[in-house]
Structure 1
Amino acid sequence: MKVEGKIAHESLENLSSQQENPQLSTFNSKLKIGYDGKRAANNLTGLGNYSRSLIEHLADQYPENQYLVYSPKAKSAKQIDAFFEKENIQLKLPQDRFLWRTLNILKDLLRDNVQIFHGLSHEIPFYIQHTPIKSVVTIHDLIFLRFPHYYKLIDRKLYEWKSKSACKRADKIIAISEKTKQDIVELYGTNPDKIEVIYQSCDESFKTTLSQPTLEKIRREYNLPDKYILSVGTIEARKNLLLTIKALRNVRDDYKLVVIGKQTPYFNEVEKEIEALALKDRIILLRNIPFTDLPGIYQMAGIFVYPSFYEGFGIPIIEALYSGVPVIAAKGSCLEEAGGPKSIYIEPTDVNGLSNRINEVLANPSLQKEMKEKGLEFVQKFNSPLVTQQLMNCYLNILK
């Protein structure tokens, strides 16, 4: 293995010497920026949406650059196809598939004269530090170390190995929250000066108020009640839906709970609790909702509740604030960063605390108005143009 690594290293050094100096006249020419595009080219939710949104905003705001998306394959889907139709975004498939994402992708990056490579989720290619290519890695969270019992041992060790190695070798680390930055410093011993916090935004569709006829059409499509509390997120133990279910028993009964999320084995516990508390008639479970309908479902909600034990940031909170919905979330991770000072925070184990705060908001129109207005004001710090400018400044700074 050491011999193979040495050969690979020497091969890359030879190829690197043939590459044009990527930092010559950087500020007088177009940039070529490469991305680990596995999720951008294949995932329709989560990190796929994050990756496409980040690159699309860069491509729109800085159209003079080329954005090369490297992926071993690409799924055919409406949003992915539209993403690659942009003139300055290009899909790059492997010339040599063997160990491509971890090593041989470097040959393609060097041939394409890429100046910066951005690993969008916890990893970058090995040996990239021995090439002229500058590297950036985004770390979303270290939940697998904070809450190891949620992960299989082999998965946890793999995630730790990849992310710790990437943090050590990258020229710059992007953390998506101050909390994640603190975790990287504490758990990996990383110099905090190497880490830059750049928040995420959400899809632009959440920032536009839909017309009443459109909202009513969505309401009929999913048989939504006139008054409801909304929960969005994978139905897994860490997201803590059970707390919301238990709290619902003591919430005024003219409000139902609408739950949107992919089900995991944890859902069996949720079902048992719903049955035990006789709440089946008050809970609406929705799955596989088209992304285009989500903003409308948010906008019609009375309150958004997000009692997760731990998050790297909390995009659903941003979506709710842009949608003009009061937010109640959990203390203990980074959700205060996403929700701002006028959202309400409870302990993630406090059932009575959650039900009391829900009832307090529902009974107080002036409080609702303040939470909506101040929440929308706060969330402007996550506007896409600002976040995109911060990211481009990060790229330019590592090329200096």
Structure 2
Amino acid sequence: MKISYDGKRFFNNSSGLGNYSRDLVRIVATYFPENDYVLINENQTEKGKEIVALPQVSFVETSKGSWSRQLKMGKDAQLINADIFHGLSGELPLIWKESPIKKIVTIHDLIFMRFPQYYSFFDRKIHFWKFKKAVEQADLIIAISDQTKRDIIQYLKVPEEKIRVIYQGCHHAFKENQSEEFLTSTKEKYNLPKRFILNVGTIEERKNLLNIVKAINGTKIPLVVIGKKTKYFNKVKKYLVKNKLENQVQFLENVSIEELAAIYKLADLFVYPSLFEGFGIPVIEALFSETPVITSNVSCLPEAGGPDAAYIDPTNFEDIKAKISFLWNNESERKRRARKGVQFVQKFKDESIAKEMMNAYQSLLKN
């Protein structure tokens, strides 16, 4: 079987859709090396170089010309006799030859429909048009959570039988046991507190960092935040200054994936009060890191967090404060939830996801 992929996010995105693309190709190529996996893009970059180096993974340059991804990538996949084309980020090429090829698209979320206020009118229209065209063309749609599946049915009017839920995993660094030396050196490098709570993700309104900051106001609990700053950061900063909390909250950027995995392990708690997610990869990362999780009781987050995460109303900072205080002061309960969380998160291991994705590929070719 020859499976081709839209390689744009694989080669060009450092997080989010890029991580999903690289992890997916890596795990199916690792667990099912009998197939050929071909990444198609305008060019290669350093990102994912170690995956393309696998003997069963190769790169094909898209035919030259404007709009090549939309107009030529699909035909390029057919020219190399691929059995399947998989669009990894909600899009499929618009033009195809008559020769047979099965088309799959992964839809991560429809946040632009649920929270239109975070997007311009133009962006909403473009996103909707791309997603609608993709699901119409696709022989199979992969949703990364039951929440996303429900949204695809509701907003894109897709029949349920055309959708299969296959969860995301996370980078293998979070599943490895870093040495004590590395943990210590990471702690020293970033001058981390002896004990702290952690938040990871883009600092934007939907991720709701301000309510964590409000929750720790009046406590002495240190907070470490790792994520790219947006305009919303200014709102958070204003609150920190007004309430003299600047020394209680530490912001980190440009942290390597190995260091990030170490910081998860060093944290007492991971707090993620997002208002909405397609899946919530940081929750999975924390669970693999044996760090207890406090997260929102909305969207897909209970799917990712499992029965032993602590759930909060993300709009109620007093609820967040109560859960943080309870777990911060209760070591035995933290350990219990961490232990149970590791058991639950095994369903997101590479091998399980690879098998589910390969079953999807194989079943599609049988039809």
Letter in 2 for 1:65: N
Deviation at 1:83, TM superposition (A): 2.2
TM-score calculated relative to the size of structure 1? 0.89
> Equivalent residue for 2:11?
41
Structure 2 counterpart of 1:138, from 93, 106, 110: 106
> Equivalent residue for 2:126?
158
Which digits, 9 at most, give the CA deviation of each residue in 1:138-168, with x for residues without a partner? 0000000000000111111111110111111
> Equivalent residue for 1:32?
2
Deviation at 1:74, TM superposition (A): 2.3
Size of the aligned set, in residue pairs, is 366
Is 1:176 equivalent to 2:138 in the alignment?
Answer: no
Matches within 5 A, 1:246-325: 246-251=214-219, 253=220, 255-325=221-291
> Equivalent residue for 2:348?
382
> Equivalent residue for 2:26?
56
Secondary structure of the residue aligned to 2:148 is: helix
Letter in 2 for 1:385: E
Moved over 6 A (4+): none
% identical equivalent positions: 45
Secondary structure of the residue aligned to 1:164 is: helix
Which digits, 9 at most, give the CA deviation of each residue in 1:360-389, with x for residues without a partner? 011212211211011111101111100110
> Equivalent residue for 2:323?
357
Matches within 5 A, 1:151-230: 151-230=119-198
Secondary structure of the residue aligned to 1:41 is: helix
| In 2, Cα distance between equivalents of 1:128 and 1:193 | 24
Which digits, 9 at most, give the CA deviation of each residue in 1:76-102, with x for residues without a partner? x2x432222111111111223332111
| In 1, Cα distance between equivalents of 2:75 and 2:141 | 23
> Equivalent residue for 2:358?
392
Deviation at 1:49, TM superposition (A): 1.5
> Equivalent residue for 1:368?
334
Deviation at 1:126, TM superposition (A): 1.6
Deviation at 1:210, TM superposition (A): 1.6
Gaps of 5+ in 2: none
| In 1, Cα distance between equivalents of 2:5 and 2:211 | 39
| In 2, Cα distance between equivalents of 1:164 and 1:264 | 29
Tell me if structure 1 keeps the 8 A contact 2:74–2:85.
no
Which digits, 9 at most, give the CA deviation of each residue in 1:231-267, with x for residues without a partner? 000000111101101111144x1x3100000001111
Q: CA RMSD in A?
A: 1.2
Secondary structure of the residue aligned to 1:280 is: coil
Letter in 1 for 2:15: T
Structure 2 counterpart of 1:92, from 49, 54, 60: 60
Secondary structure of the residue aligned to 1:121 is: coil
| In 2, Cα distance between equivalents of 1:361 and 1:155 | 41
TM-score calculated relative to the size of structure 2? 0.97
Letter in 1 for 2:249: I
Q: Which moved more, 1:368-377 or 1:120-129?
A: 120-129
Structure 2 counterpart of 1:332, from 298, 301, 324: 298
Tell me if structure 2 keeps the 8 A contact 1:230–1:304.
yes
Higher CA-based Rg = 1
Secondary structure of the residue aligned to 2:259 is: helix
Is 1:341 equivalent to 2:311 in the alignment?
Answer: no
> Equivalent residue for 2:35?
65
Structure 2 counterpart of 1:126, from 69, 82, 94: 94
Tell me if structure 2 keeps the 8 A contact 1:42–1:73.
no
Gaps of 5+ in 1: 1-30
